[in-house]
Structure 1
Amino acid sequence: MGGFGRRVSRRAVLGSALAATWLATDFSSDSVHRNVVDGARDRAHTDVLFIGAHPDDESSNLSTFGQWREDLGLSTGVVTITRGEGGGNAVGLEEGPELGLIREAEERRATGFVGIENIYYLDKPDFWYTLSAPLTARIWGEQDTLARLVRLVRSTTPHTIVVMDPRPFNQHGGHQFSARLGIEAFRLAGDPSAFPAQIADEGLTPWHPSRLLAQNYGFESLLGPDAAEQRRTDPYTGLPVIGVWSGVRSREYNTSWAQVEREATRLYLTQGFAAQPAQVSSDPRQLGSDWFTVLAEDGRFIDAAVHREDGLKPLYAEFSDWADRAGLPWLANRVQPDYPPNPSTTIPAVPIAPVLNGIEGPGEYPGPELPLAVWRGGGGCAATAKVARHGDDLYVLVTVTDDRKGAELVVEDTKRHWRTDSVEIVVDPRGDSDDTSTTLKTGILPYIAGRVGPIAERDADNHQGLARETAPGMRVAAMVTDPYRGYAVEVKIPLGELPAPVDPAEFAMNILVYDSDTDDKTGRTRLAWSPFGSAQADPYVWGTATLADYRPLADSSTTDTPPVIPQTAARSASSAASLAQAGRIGVPIAGSPRPSSSRYSVSPNR
């Protein structure tokens, strides 16, 4: 496997991945072969089933799925739980269900590059970027989503299931929860007592997949054809890790699978993937592998040592409890990272309200200057912030030095402030939030198309939308230099419009700056007062900010406000492609029940 253009053997294609490892079985094993033979009786059968949350979650593994098809004859199907309606749109103004159907079309075109024919959407709503699997479970409906997944596993009879990483730190809650559901579906699909109506009423039979893999991005720095040949172990769980090298040459495309994947991923236009370079490196030493943790072999979870942690924060404790219930307690090994100390400041009270003009006037901000450090990316941007309070209003002034102006968004596109130059302020009024649904998150664009800026919006928080509608007392001002050398944003946030009463001693916040330096609506650099992990979405990271001398009004009407979360999803019934697929293979749309007399029932694996 050392030569870039050399044709590889059947065993080498899986990168030392599955076949040449120390695993008990491989794709040529009798047990896998038996599953393939039995399942092939059904038009819906797939050898591999990937389970993701959004219509691009499989994009980083397309080179692997393509290799498995071309060299081993293994088909792959995809389950996508949502259509990504809550995500961004780099090429238009469509949102909600309309955006979801666009993203479905992108996913079908991209996966078609590697021979994936069937994608199953579960029609669950995609809301906004959250780090919380429990919040995602509440919105999707845990048992209903799990039942649909189990039904699809029984319908498609895969021998291998591939899930995302279920661990909670620094990744989308939808990714985490889709992985949890995939793990549970792997276990339950073969249990006749699980969702028995699928068997009694729908004609399905229990199905026992053989292998369970989870995406692992902890080995991305290992490049070249030899990296995937080594035996590796996940440093957190102790489970085996396998790699599939992307530099293997495709006979069909006459180029590396890494290049095929790049051409495919550039078709996810709404997600800004078209901004990726069109060509990957021609040097095999610069091409990486796809990595997977092996969670189960021969239908059984692989055991590993359990290392308990004390003092887990609520989100991590919840994951640990789930891992125990699921029968994989080692997944929670070292699950909570070593958070750095939270920065802290005291927000002084000022007798006269600052003038909102983007300029610091005398005595307006007597407190300390807060430095904003590079959080992601780097170069071309620097920023500081100052904070003050007058009465029941919080004032924030952010000053940004920048070397290039980003794209000018229109008012209808302000939700995607992180795609260009902008400021984000996040506030946890009591400092006890586990996710952003109980916080205020406002994004401010210092300029927009038509020179009518600035403008503020709220996203991924307690109530989303333009600030003039969701926080009518909020006021923003900006000063943009001409010629452009940066900008300043000044914001007034009424404390009475926060989603919960303020605790002056536990008040938490973070201040972030997004820097683009491009015209294609893709961010480059991010700064934050407290830069760690997903600094915009993880309240555990945010700094503490004591409100000096503040006494909330005794007659304040501020109470805890339930979050407003979009729950409108694109429907498979509105998708011609999904309807055509259902007619072709006999699996109803959205993981819905089959008719009782279905003629497409599968044979049990022996």
Structure 2
Amino acid sequence: MAVHAHPDDESSKGAATYAYYTSLGDDVMVVSCTGGERGDILNDELPDLAMARRDLAGLRRREMAAAQAVMGIRHRWLGYVDSGMARDDGTFPVNSFASIPVEISAEPLVRLVRDFKPHVMVTYDENGGYPHPDHIRAHVIGVEAYRAAADPARYPEAGAPWEVSKLYYDRILNSARLNAVYEALLAAQPGSPLVERMREMRGWMGERSFDATTRIPAGDFFEARDRALRSHASQVAPDNAFFFWPNDVQRRAWPTEDFQLIDSKVETQMPETDLFAGIEETA
């Protein structure tokens, strides 16, 4: 189970991994905490521009369904409304995701965990991957549900307790990966406009520490990842240089998606190449 803040986050943060595991016959569920209603339209060439202006929430549901089909996953909406960024006074719109107490907003996720019974949960770190309020809240309720789902005294009306075996944070966007792909692209296509764009990205991204413990060999599914992400056309232009790099170069330089093991109820050895390492023997 992967817990994400908005539709499109699942495609930019783990889609190749989800497609990889579904190809192996594993059951993967993505949970979108909000509908992305307060997002901006980030593609000037969007074919459904009229609908996006009239009904962005409805369009984003259609986009999510298309991305889901590409990845071959299950998908659930948690049902909360996009918070947007905090107002000047630090508050959020009434009944938006970030404004609802955690003990309330975590309950439907606990219910999903107990019903789906995942062995692995993936979410963001305490900074949300980037500090959008909904990303931070997705982290908070993800960790809360991971802990509470196993406790029969917590949310007793949300189903029978279920203990998730492992909790991971997404570490896919990291400077080590960016630097490796940049160097490979510079060698292969030195005149590419993307080289300059990636050089700029290296400048503002800095040297983020590489905290991954687990590298998933998902390179054969980078095209599926890109198709899933392009399904969210209101949010991602088809030539967006932040997301779309030559996949042949990526496969040579960095053919994995990366995660950090935060908690485990089973024994495993580092580094891992499988989110389910240590589970099959005990499941």
Q: TM > 0.5 between the two?
A: yes
1:272 CA displacement: 2.5
CA distance in 2, matches of 1:245, 1:170: 25
| Cα offsets for 1:77-131 (capped at 9, x unmatched) | 1111111000012332556993112112111211221211x21112211132349
Task: Determine whether 1:210 maps to 2:162.
Answer: no
CA distance in 2, matches of 1:138, 1:279: 33
Instruction: Trace 1:130-279 onto structure 2 (pairs within 5 A).
Output: 130=86, 138-167=98-127, 170-198=130-158, 204-216=159-171, 217-218=173-174, 219-221=176-178, 223=180, 235=209, 241-247=213-219, 256-276=220-240
Query: Which structure 1 residue ranges, 5 or more long, are not aligned?
Result: 1-48, 199-203, 225-233, 248-255, 301-604
Q: What residue is the counterpart of 1:295 in the other structure? A: 262
CA distance in 2, matches of 1:77, 1:113: 13
59, 72, 77: which one pairs with 1:121?
77
1:286 CA displacement: 3.9
Instruction: Trace 1:333-344 onto structure 2 (pairs within 5 A).
Output: none
CA contact (8 A) 1:83 1:126 kept: yes
| Cα offsets for 1:199-246 (capped at 9, x unmatched) | xxxxx210001011111133432648xxxxxxxxx959xx76212244
Task: Determine whether 1:64 maps to 2:21.
Answer: no
CA distance in 2, matches of 1:97, 1:115: 29
30, 37, 40: which one pairs with 1:78?
30
CA distance in 1, matches of 2:143, 2:53: 29
108, 114, 117: which one pairs with 2:65?
108
Query: Which structure 2 residue ranges, 5 or more long, are not aligned?
Result: 182-207, 268-281
- For residues 279 and 240 of structure 1, do their structure 2 counterparts lie closer, same or farther at Cα, with a shift above 3 Å needed? closer
Task: Determine whether 1:282 maps to 2:282.
Answer: no
1:279 CA displacement: 7.6
| Structure 1 SS opposite 2:83 | coil
- For residues 82 and 131 of structure 1, do their structure 2 counterparts lie closer, same or farther at Cα, with a shift above 3 Å needed? same
- For residues 269 and 138 of structure 1, do their structure 2 counterparts lie closer, same or farther at Cα, with a shift above 3 Å needed? closer
| Structure 1 SS opposite 2:34 | coil
CA distance in 1, matches of 2:180, 2:255: 4
Q: What is the one-letter code of the residue matched to 1:53?
A: A
Q: What is the one-letter code of the residue matched to 1:143?
A: E
Q: What is the one-letter code of the residue matched to 1:176?
A: I
1:59 CA displacement: 0.7
CA distance in 1, matches of 2:223, 2:129: 30
CA contact (8 A) 1:81 1:122 kept: yes
- For residues 146 and 97 of structure 1, do their structure 2 counterparts lie closer, same or farther at Cα, with a shift above 3 Å needed? farther
| Cα offsets for 1:336-384 (capped at 9, x unmatched) | xxxxxxxxxxxxxxxxxxxxxxxxxxxxxxxxxxxxxxxxxxxxxxxxx
CA distance in 1, matches of 2:81, 2:254: 36
CA contact (8 A) 2:83 2:97 kept: no
CA distance in 2, matches of 1:134, 1:211: 34
| Cα offsets for 1:454-475 (capped at 9, x unmatched) | xxxxxxxxxxxxxxxxxxxxxx
CA distance in 2, matches of 1:119, 1:149: 13
| Cα offsets for 1:287-335 (capped at 9, x unmatched) | 45311111111269xxxxxxxxxxxxxxxxxxxxxxxxxxxxxxxxxxx
Q: What is the one-letter code of the residue matched to 1:154?
A: R
CA distance in 2, matches of 1:276, 1:169: 19
CA contact (8 A) 2:33 2:79 kept: yes
Greater percentage in strand: 1
1:276 CA displacement: 3.5
CA contact (8 A) 2:152 2:161 kept: yes
CA contact (8 A) 1:50 1:163 kept: yes
- For residues 210 and 169 of structure 1, do their structure 2 counterparts lie closer, same or farther at Cα, with a shift above 3 Å needed? closer
Normalization by structure 2: what TM-score?
Answer: 0.70
CA distance in 2, matches of 1:126, 1:299: 35
CA contact (8 A) 1:82 1:124 kept: yes
CA distance in 2, matches of 1:190, 1:268: 34
Greater percentage in helix: 2
Instruction: Trace 1:534-549 onto structure 2 (pairs within 5 A).
Output: none
CA contact (8 A) 2:128 2:135 kept: no
CA distance in 1, matches of 2:52, 2:81: 12
CA distance in 1, matches of 2:259, 2:63: 25
Rg larger in structure: 1
1:53 CA displacement: 0.9
CA distance in 2, matches of 1:106, 1:99: 10
- For residues 240 and 106 of structure 1, do their structure 2 counterparts lie closer, same or farther at Cα, with a shift above 3 Å needed? closer
CA contact (8 A) 1:259 1:279 kept: no
Q: What is the one-letter code of the residue matched to 1:112?
A: A
Q: What residue is the counterpart of 1:54 in the other structure? A: 6
- For residues 240 and 127 of structure 1, do their structure 2 counterparts lie closer, same or farther at Cα, with a shift above 3 Å needed? closer
RMSD in angstroms over aligned alpha carbons? 3.2
CA contact (8 A) 2:169 2:262 kept: yes
| Structure 1 SS opposite 2:9 | coil
| Cα offsets for 1:112-151 (capped at 9, x unmatched) | 21211x2111221113234999857652342221111111
1:184 CA displacement: 1.0
- For residues 279 and 296 of structure 1, do their structure 2 counterparts lie closer, same or farther at Cα, with a shift above 3 Å needed? closer
Percent identity over paired residues: 24
Identify the structure with bigger relative contact order (alpha carbons < 8 Å, sequence gap 6+): 2
Give the number of equivalent residue pairs.
Answer: 228
1:157 CA displacement: 0.5
1:265 CA displacement: 1.1
